[in-house]
Structure 1
Amino acid sequence: MTQAIEVKVPDIGDYKDVPVIEVLVKIGDTVELEQSLVMLESDKATMDVPSPAAGIVRDLKVKVGDAVSEGALIVLLDAASAPASGASIGNGSGTALQEAQPLSCAPQSVEALVASPARSSSNSSGHVQAVPAAAVSLEGDSRGSHASPSARKYARELGVDVSRVTGTGPKGRITQDDITAFVKGVMTGALAAPAAAAAPAAGGGAGLNLLPWPKVDFTKFGPIDTQPLSRIKKISGANLHRNWVMIPHVTNNDEADITDLEALRVQLNKENEKAGVKFTLLAFAIKACVAALKKFPAFNASLDGDNLVFKQYYHIGFAADTPNGLVVPVIRDADKKGLFDIAREMAELSKLARDGKLKPDQMQGGCFSISSLGGIGGKHFTPIINAPEVAILGLSKSEMKPVWDGKQFVPRLILPLSLSWDHRVIDGAEAGRFNAYLVSILGDFRRVIL
């Protein structure tokens, strides 16, 4: 007689009552090991719950729209070779994650964003732009609207009153696609924004009063190929737009002489070749940024209304390139870790990101983010701050340049730096000092211990 395998909600961080947005199997289906059974969606991520073993679906304990938390039973499987005590998923090691959080130009910075290749498309396929709060009113009672917490959060981020959105989900449930379609309707003029949005404010200010998004029949001009935006691009685009519009960005560009640092990096890689750990410039940059954050604590803060929250921890996010877009894993407590630990953890997180297996808590809690384009190219760029952070560092491609040493020009390896900062929290003088201090550490890494 076959024994039942209990499939439970794995470790999903601090999330509670996460909605089930899709049930991918039905009773009687034969499933394979690691096959996705159900899909959950928190306000930050979409997660597939995989099967812990091959077998046949005996019973489904959840349906679309149910809210579940860690440890909740979702599926019963029949398997001929089940463990005596029954098995369950509890560690989330096979959970495929698709992040839906803002990406700064690093990003998110996001906190970052991963999309499942199998489910990257959506019901609405156009480019999504965040509608400013002036364009779509948040006022009104939306408590009667049938929408999940994640959909409501998505609506708040775009400045949408969910009571004005028509739901197309089960029993009229409002989905993120419905909100996206509503936003597109307002942007293209298909839906009217509240009248107050287009009129100048009584105090002398004015709304953005945006023109409708242009409608163009591109086939008039030649052949086209239309492809839907991936989930990561649709959601990150809206969040990036919000961050860019709402945060007064300023970017300071500078250059660091990393000739000696590069020599140290090469030496460490040779010495640790057998250990399987590769030291990248980004690992050194993380340690240097921690030292700079300690010296300039405003860069390690966040705005909370009229208060400034100074964090006593140093969690550094770094942009990781994946087939589905950029995500931002977070190195937690980077101040307490050495270069070896940081380099190893970066490699592990980057692999999880590429495989779409980052867990939500591995992309949360960042204090400061780094976006490195050094392996691609470029001189300088303007990375977009990942709210609620107040700054982000961009690294471009280093190159050899002639530098005057007082007697002659000598070849030195120069790294371009681009520091974007929130002018509501930081002023130009402080940003200049931060960059100068960071440049001094990268020029002589021994300063990091001071």
Structure 2
Amino acid sequence: MATEIRVPTLGESITEATVGKWFKKSGDAVKADEPLVELETDKVTVEVPAPASGVLDDIKVSEGQTVSVGALLGAIRNGAAASEAKSDRPAPAPAAAKPTAQAEKPAKSSEMPPSPAARKKLAEAGIDAADVVGSGKRGQVLKEDVGAAKAPEPDASPAPPAASSSPPTRGLAPMPVPVQHLRVPAPPNDAAREERVRMTKLRQTIAQRLKDAQNTAAILTTFNDVDMSAVIKLRNDYKELFEKRHGVKLGFMGFFVKACLQALKDVPAVNAEIDGDEIVYKNYYHIGVAVGTERGLVVPVVREADRMSLAEIEAQVTDYGKRARDGKLGIEDMLGGTFTITNGGVYGSLLSTPILNAPQSGILGMHRIEERPVVRNGQVVARPMMYLALSYDHRIVDGKDAVAFLVRVKECLEDPQRFLLEL
């Protein structure tokens, strides 16, 4: 009796996925709920667990193939223990000893055929390709490898220079070596040194959506800077008490989410989107927080952020960051965002122009904090400054609204008491 392994329901609007990696191979023993295969969608990467214990008897779809929801991936033979699976296979025959003469030949590191130029030189020199160690990708024999193999070893005792019949000259430059006597190294085989890696479904979708955003929206970016002294002081004064009370560290993202909420309420166009010939103003605030992972950029959404405390926002952002790095985010975690915040400062970015997360009309870019000279009360002083960038869709957000939004964010961050008073 066998249990089928099928593609599970992957989420709303997702109808297909790409088989990324099989964690088991045919004939391996598996346990129930053990990860069997990784599926890549245009939003997330999910692992399909084993529906039952037994032996992976059949793999129907290989890595890199595209499958639809409900498609058959393979089957598990039930009631077969791992030991039984192993015993069904004949024991491998002991490897025969290799002749010692063969061991003296250079080992061929791959079955890659020699490059065309190398094959020509091998034929001209009468050398067997098996006697040449290749330096190309996967051990491919290149043209220069053949040259090195047939080059004669230098004589240990070079002959004395021939006596010249003419007397030595003084004050004259040495004669240049004729060009035909110079050994010009062969150009490297660039194709052999390249590596091609298939784009993941997530990376393909990111590329397509970013290009669609550029083609559709009239994207502009406006900039401002913010003095982070007040936020840094508040964080340093209360971070230990905050963590002790709420069980989560006090970071910067919570302050920025709170500041953006105040600005979005003042400038509702930044929280809206265009749908055909209509503008949809959203009277709710789902803030997307961009997170960079090895698989690409994902944007989980802090839903109803205006109803959450600073501690709740920090806890949600921390949880999303951990799950994003572990590949544990679900489809529902990334749907419905109305505005996005991205923090390039964690990678050292000083200034950038973030691209819209369509169909949203605005995205705020944070950057690194660094001390810069500023004028305060007629004095030049050093302050921890950060550049802010707001990219927006000029079809719906006017320039004055974009500037007003950034000024509002700046005011809230430079005077965090406004959060408490909602000013």
Q: Structure 1 counterpart of 2:30, which letter?
A: V
Contact 1:317/1:368 (8 A) holds in 2: yes
> How much has 1:399 moved relative to structure 2?
1.5
1:364–1:223: structure 2 CA closer, same or farther, 3 Å change rule?
same
Query: What CA distance in whole angstroms lies between the structure 1 residues aligned with 2:69 and 2:356?
Result: 33
Query: What CA distance in whole angstroms lies between the structure 2 residues aligned with 1:19 and 1:221?
Result: 33
Higher relative contact order, structure no. (Cα contacts within 8 Å, ≥ 6 residues apart): 1
Percent identical among aligned pairs is 37
> How much has 1:388 moved relative to structure 2?
0.5
Question: In terms of mean alpha carbon deviation, does 57-66 or 314-323 score higher?
Answer: 57-66
Q: Structure 1 counterpart of 2:259, which letter?
A: A
Q: Give the alignment partner of residue 14 of structure 1, picking from 12, 21, 26.
A: 12
The superposition leaves residues 125-172 of structure 1 with CA deviations (integer Å, 9 ceiling, x where unpaired) of xxxxxxxxxxxxxxxxxxxxxxxxxxxxxxxxxxxxxxxxxxxxxxxx
1:49 correspondence with 2:48: yes
> How much has 1:235 moved relative to structure 2?
3.2
2:350 corresponding residue in structure 1: 379
Query: What CA distance in whole angstroms lies between the structure 2 residues aligned with 1:265 and 1:443?
Result: 13
- Aligned residue for 1:272, secondary structure, equals helix
1:352 correspondence with 2:323: yes
> How much has 1:261 moved relative to structure 2?
0.8
Query: What CA distance in whole angstroms lies between the structure 1 residues aligned with 2:61 and 2:294?
Result: 31
The superposition leaves residues 220-267 of structure 1 with CA deviations (integer Å, 9 ceiling, x where unpaired) of 779843232541433322322222232221110100112111111223
The superposition leaves residues 312-346 of structure 1 with CA deviations (integer Å, 9 ceiling, x where unpaired) of 22111112121222221111111111111111111
Query: What CA distance in whole angstroms lies between the structure 2 residues aligned with 1:271 and 1:303?
Result: 44
Contact 1:57/1:78 (8 A) holds in 2: no
1:390 correspondence with 2:358: no
Question: In terms of mean alpha carbon deviation, does 354-363 or 375-384 score higher?
Answer: 375-384
Query: What CA distance in whole angstroms lies between the structure 1 residues aligned with 2:80 and 2:191?
Result: 58
Query: What CA distance in whole angstroms lies between the structure 2 residues aligned with 1:67 and 1:405?
Result: 62
Contact 1:34/1:51 (8 A) holds in 2: yes
Flag the structure with higher helix content: 2
1:292 corresponding residue in structure 2: 263
> How much has 1:403 moved relative to structure 2?
2.7
Long gaps (5+) in structure 1: 82-217
Query: What CA distance in whole angstroms lies between the structure 1 residues aligned with 2:190 and 2:15?
Result: 50
Q: Give the alignment partner of residue 339 of structure 2, picking from 365, 368, 374.
A: 368
1:408–1:16: structure 2 CA closer, same or farther, 3 Å change rule?
closer
> How much has 1:29 moved relative to structure 2?
5.2
Q: Give the alignment partner of residue 196 of structure 2, picking from 227, 231, 236.
A: 227
Q: What does 1:54-73 align with in structure 2 at a 5 Å threshold?
A: 54-56=53-55, 68=69
Contact 1:257/1:443 (8 A) holds in 2: yes
2:143 corresponding residue in structure 1: none
Q: Give the alignment partner of residue 253 of structure 2, picking from 282, 287, 297.
A: 282
Q: Give the alignment partner of residue 417 of structure 1, picking from 388, 392, 410.
A: 388
Query: What CA distance in whole angstroms lies between the structure 2 residues aligned with 1:272 and 1:47?
Result: 35
Contact 1:40/1:46 (8 A) holds in 2: yes
Aligned residues: 311
- Aligned residue for 1:314, secondary structure, equals coil
Contact 2:5/2:50 (8 A) holds in 1: yes
1:104 corresponding residue in structure 2: none
1:255–1:371: structure 2 CA closer, same or farther, 3 Å change rule?
same
- Aligned residue for 1:291, secondary structure, equals helix
2:397 corresponding residue in structure 1: 426
Q: Give the alignment partner of residue 301 of structure 1, picking from 252, 272, 279.
A: 272
Contact 1:19/1:42 (8 A) holds in 2: yes
1:17–1:246: structure 2 CA closer, same or farther, 3 Å change rule?
closer
1:334–1:223: structure 2 CA closer, same or farther, 3 Å change rule?
same
Contact 2:44/2:329 (8 A) holds in 1: no
Query: What CA distance in whole angstroms lies between the structure 2 residues aligned with 1:319 and 1:313?
Result: 19
Q: What does 1:68-217 align with in structure 2 at a 5 Å threshold?
A: 68=69, 78=78
TM-score, normalised on structure 2? 0.63
> How much has 1:382 moved relative to structure 2?
0.5
1:17–1:408: structure 2 CA closer, same or farther, 3 Å change rule?
closer
2:139 corresponding residue in structure 1: none
Q: Structure 2 counterpart of 1:344, which letter?
A: A
Query: What CA distance in whole angstroms lies between the structure 1 residues aligned with 2:349 and 2:204?
Result: 26
Question: In terms of mean alpha carbon deviation, does 344-353 or 408-417 score higher?
Answer: 408-417
2:232 corresponding residue in structure 1: 262
Query: What CA distance in whole angstroms lies between the structure 2 residues aligned with 1:256 and 1:34?
Result: 50
1:328–1:17: structure 2 CA closer, same or farther, 3 Å change rule?
closer
Question: In terms of mean alpha carbon deviation, does 271-280 or 356-365 score higher?
Answer: 271-280
1:31–1:284: structure 2 CA closer, same or farther, 3 Å change rule?
same
